[in-house]
């Protein structure tokens, strides 16, 4: 990300607000902080819990064939061999021999690729758009000419390269050509300093028990899904389910990401909300379609703007090792589009792999059809922290009322960590006592906030900044007619209601 100007960069402003108001802040700060680890404070923890609970309820209450599970974080090490994670769950990494920094290859080559096509289009300006590109059209000795030649040769084509369109070319190969052509470190700027890419496994390794040897190696799960696959039969049998059915789980996952960043978007420790849906073979497409619709609608139900969401389908050559078809729901963050959730057709990859490795029968017996099969799996895999970041970015608002600027979070009341505040206009003349009574009546039913200190304006601003939808203010008129003022966060509309109606008002 470019250097932040805290005054104008929207993400930097949100990060500052999150720290100022105890929503999310740097972890281990007294020791100088630990890179890309965050703590969720008194307003962030309930906000995150509210989102997780909305997800859980959406899955397990709305669908009578979906049940919950809370499986272990550290599973048998053989799980990760069978699942393919030990071999395949890696990102290609490239290291600079000059500054020793390490980067994800994808991040390094993206600007190279943009440069390649930009240079090509400038060099080809005398040609018609859509015209085939041939090496001899390009200046002799240029990296573009040599790269075009390599691409055509590799794809066994003579003249099929069209501007902006790659022929059927493996991504690794294209990246290799780009690195050959434009090798320059993005951090120190040194030319030809990037070494050949190598695979870097993202699993977090640890040792279990007092002896440290290869038999004690354990791994923190990189996804919550595997625990669901291992337990699927015991869960289905105990809950008396038959395909199609789903198992939902939320919890921490760990990935030793090469690069982290964009606040809580990419961290090494994060939380997932995953639901694996077990269906009869042949029914996957239908369920994948259904779940895509349901998951899209869920983000809208959180108050996220539809025009900030989009679908991204994974090209076939970029699919994860377990997936047959994969769709992401992406949100338009201040730093660009980023994935919130993947909806994948995992087929029978996982159950077959675990059956083979464990020797245990993981087939399902359909006692009506008298047939045995491995259920196919449609997965919905969402990130809790990323969803919270999307909710925060979407809710962040600034406005100006009567010459006064304010920042507020237009959070859906379901997500707001505090549902209402109760304020006496002043501490004296018995107003604080009336306010405390109302507060006491509400506090066991809702998360509410009571504050009698400081100017009323400042107290309102503080509540706006954590997204509290309503403030109830007790003033001198309350003593005359038992009414209080309700102030709405977004519209600043004020109305008076009887003090006995406050609870019912909030319930509504
Ligand atoms: P990305 O391409 O961004 O690395 P991914 O495709 O590897 O993500 P999945 O394996 O599909 O992600 O994981 C499902 C969800 O888990 C993601 O959509 C995301 O919301 C969340 N997630 C994955 N990695 C991280 C991370 N490092 N930090 C925070 N959330 C993550």
Query: Which residues face 251 on adjacent strands?
Result: 272
pLDDT score recorded for residue 63 = 98
* Ligand 1: residue whose CA is nearest its atom 16: 383
Neighbours of 187 (CB within 10 A): 14
Contact of 92 with 197, CB cutoff 8 Å: yes
* Ligand 1: residue whose CA is nearest its atom 22: 383
Which long-range contacts link 402-408 to residues 24+ away (Cβ below 8 Å)?
404/457, 406/461, 406/464, 407/13, 407/17, 407/461, 407/464, 407/465, 408/464, 408/465, 408/467, 408/489, 408/490
Give me the half-sphere count of Cα atoms (radius 13 Å) on the Cβ side of residue 87: 8
Nearest-atom index, ligand 1, CA of 265: 29
Contact of 339 with 246, CB cutoff 8 Å: no
Alpha carbons 320 and 314: distance in angstroms, whole number = 9
45-78+209-393: which CATH topology?
BirA Bifunctional Protein; domain 2 (3.30.930)
Q: Does the CB atom of residue 394 touch ligand 1 within 6 A?
A: no
pLDDT score recorded for residue 117 = 87
pLDDT score recorded for residue 162 = 73
* Ligand 1: residue whose CA is nearest its atom 1: 339
Q: Does the CB atom of residue 382 touch ligand 1 within 6 A?
A: yes
Buried b (16+ CB within 10 A) or exposed e, 135-150: bebbeeeebbbbbbbb
pLDDT in tens, the chain (508 residues): 344 466 679 999 999 999 999 999 999 999 999 988 999 999 999 999 999 999 999 999 999 999 999 999 999 999 999 999 999 888 889 999 999 999 999 999 999 999 998 888 888 766 555 667 788 888 899 999 998 888 888 877 666 677 667 777 778 888 999 999 999 999 999 999 999 999 999 999 999 998 888 889 999 999 999 999 999 999 999 999 999 999 999 999 999 998 899 999 999 999 999 999 999 999 999 999 999 999 999 999 999 999 999 999 998 877 888 888 999 999 999 999 999 999 999 999 999 999 999 999 999 999 999 999 999 999 999 999 999 999 999 999 999 977 889 999 999 999 999 999 999 999 999 999 999 999 999 999 999 999 999 999 999 999 999 999 999 999 999 999 999 999 999 999 999 999 999 999 999 9
pLDDT score recorded for residue 3 = 45
**Closest residue by Cα to residue 417 from 446, 393, 439:** 446
Strands 204-207 and 198-201: unpaired
Instruction: Reply yes or no: is the peptide bond before residue 244 cis, omega within 30 of 0.
Output: yes
- Select from 204, 225, 270 the residue to mutate for testing ligand 1; criterion: most ligand atoms less than 8 Å from CB: 270
Contact of 313 with 361, CB cutoff 8 Å: no
Q: Does the CB atom of residue 340 touch ligand 1 within 6 A?
A: yes
Alpha-carbon Rg for the chain, nearest whole angstrom, is 28
pLDDT score recorded for residue 406 = 94
Strands 66-68 and 245-254: parallel
pLDDT score recorded for residue 131 = 67
Burial of 101 (0-12, 13-18, 19+ CB in 10 A): middle
Q: Does the CB atom of residue 266 touch ligand 1 within 6 A?
A: yes
pLDDT score recorded for residue 169 = 74
Q: Does the CB atom of residue 270 touch ligand 1 within 6 A?
A: yes
Q: Does the CB atom of residue 144 touch ligand 1 within 6 A?
A: no
**Could you say which DSSP state residue 136 is in?**
G
Alpha carbons 13 and 465: distance in angstroms, whole number = 12
* Ligand 1: residue whose CA is nearest its atom 29: 266
**Domain 418-507, second-level architecture:** 3-Layer(aba) Sandwich (3.40)
Q: Does the CB atom of residue 383 touch ligand 1 within 6 A?
A: yes
Query: Cα(203) to centroid of ligand 1, in Å?
Result: 14
Query: Cα(333) to centroid of ligand 1, in Å?
Result: 15
Sheet of strand 470-474: strand arrangement: 448-450, 420-424, 470-474, 483-488, 494-498
pLDDT score recorded for residue 130 = 62
**Spacing of C-alpha 52 from chain mean position:** 12
Strands (DSSP E) found in 73-167: 90-95, 102-104, 132-133, 161-162
pLDDT score recorded for residue 211 = 87
Alpha carbons 463 and 382: distance in angstroms, whole number = 29
- Select from 225, 342, 384 the residue to mutate for testing ligand 1; criterion: most ligand atoms less than 8 Å from CB: 342
- Could you tell me the residue ranges of all domains in the chain? 45-78+209-393, 90-201, 418-507
Alpha carbons 340 and 346: distance in angstroms, whole number = 18
Query: Cα(123) to centroid of ligand 1, in Å?
Result: 39
Q: Does the CB atom of residue 330 touch ligand 1 within 6 A?
A: no
Query: Cα(458) to centroid of ligand 1, in Å?
Result: 39
Q: Does the CB atom of residue 385 touch ligand 1 within 6 A?
A: yes
Q: Does the CB atom of residue 339 touch ligand 1 within 6 A?
A: yes
Alpha carbons 334 and 324: distance in angstroms, whole number = 31
- Select from 383, 389, 391 the residue to mutate for testing ligand 1; criterion: most ligand atoms less than 8 Å from CB: 383
Give me the half-sphere count of Cα atoms (radius 13 Å) on the Cβ side of residue 171: 13
Phi, psi (rounded to 5 degrees) for 54: -60, -40
Neighbours of 377 (CB within 10 A): 26
Contact of 343 with 291, CB cutoff 8 Å: yes
Neighbours of 4 (CB within 10 A): 14
């Amino acid at each position: 990300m470019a250097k932040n100007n805290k005054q104008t960069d929207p993400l930097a402003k949100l990060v500052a607000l999150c720290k100022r108001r105890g929503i999310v802040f740097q972890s281990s700060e007294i020791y100088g902080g630990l890179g890309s680890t965050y703590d969720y404070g008194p307003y962030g923890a309930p906000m995150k819990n509210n989102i997780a609970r909305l997800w859980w309820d959406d899955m397990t209450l709305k669908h009578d064939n979906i049940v919950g599970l809370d499986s272990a974080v550290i599973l048998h090490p053989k799980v990760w061999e069978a699942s393919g994670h030990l071999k395949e769950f890696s990102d290609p990494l490239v290291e600079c021999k000059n500054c020793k920094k390490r980067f994800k290859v994808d991040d390094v080559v993206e600007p190279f690729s943009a440069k390649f096509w930009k240079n090509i289009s400038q060099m080809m300006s005398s040609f018609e758009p859509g015209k085939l590109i041939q090496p001899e059209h390009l200046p002799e000795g240029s990296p573009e000419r040599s790269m075009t030649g390599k691409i055509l040769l590799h794809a066994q084509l003579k003249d099929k390269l069209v501007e902006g369109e790659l022929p059927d070319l493996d991504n690794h190969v294209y990246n290799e050509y780009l690195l050959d052509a434009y090798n320059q470190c993005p951090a120190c700027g040194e030319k030809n300093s990037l070494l050949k890419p190598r695979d870097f496994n993202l699993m977090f390794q640890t040792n279990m028990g007092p002896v440290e040897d290869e038999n004690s190696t354990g791994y923190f799960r990189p996804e919550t899904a595997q625990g669901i696959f291992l337990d699927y039969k015991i869960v289905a049998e105990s809950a008396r389910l038959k395909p199609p059915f789903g198992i939902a789980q939320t919890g921490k996952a760990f990935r030793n990401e090469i690069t982290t960043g964009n606040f809580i978007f990419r961290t090494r420790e994060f939380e997932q909300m995953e639901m694996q849906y077990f269906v009869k073979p042949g029914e996957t497409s239908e369920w994948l379609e259904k779940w895509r619709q349901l998951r899209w609608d869920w983000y809208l139900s959180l108050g996220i703007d539809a025009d900030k969401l989009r679908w991204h389908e994974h090209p076939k050559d970029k699919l994860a090792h377990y997936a047959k078809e994969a769709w992401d729901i992406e949100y338009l963050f201040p730093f660009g589009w980023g994935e919130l959730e993947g909806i994948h057709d995992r087929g029978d990859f996982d159950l077959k792999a675990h059956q083979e490795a464990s020797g245990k029968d993981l087939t399902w017996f359909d006692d009506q059809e008298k047939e045995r099969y491995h259920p196919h799996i449609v997965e919905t895999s969402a990130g809790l922290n990323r969803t919270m970041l999307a909710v925060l970015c979407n809710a962040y608002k600034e406005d100006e009322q009567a010459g006064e600027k304010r920042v507020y979070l237009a959070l859906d009341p379901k997500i707001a960590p505090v549902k209402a505040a109760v304020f006496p206009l002043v501490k004296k003349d018995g107003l604080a006592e009336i306010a405390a009574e109302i507060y006491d009546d509400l506090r066991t039913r809702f998360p509410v906030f009571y504050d009698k200190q400081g100017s009323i304006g400042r107290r309102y601003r503080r509540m706006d900044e954590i997204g509290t939808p309503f403030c109830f203010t007790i003033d001198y008129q309350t003593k005359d007619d038992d009414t209080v003022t309700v102030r709405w966060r977004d519209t600043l509309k004020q109305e008076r209601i009887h003090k006995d109606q406050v609870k019912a008002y909030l319930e509504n």
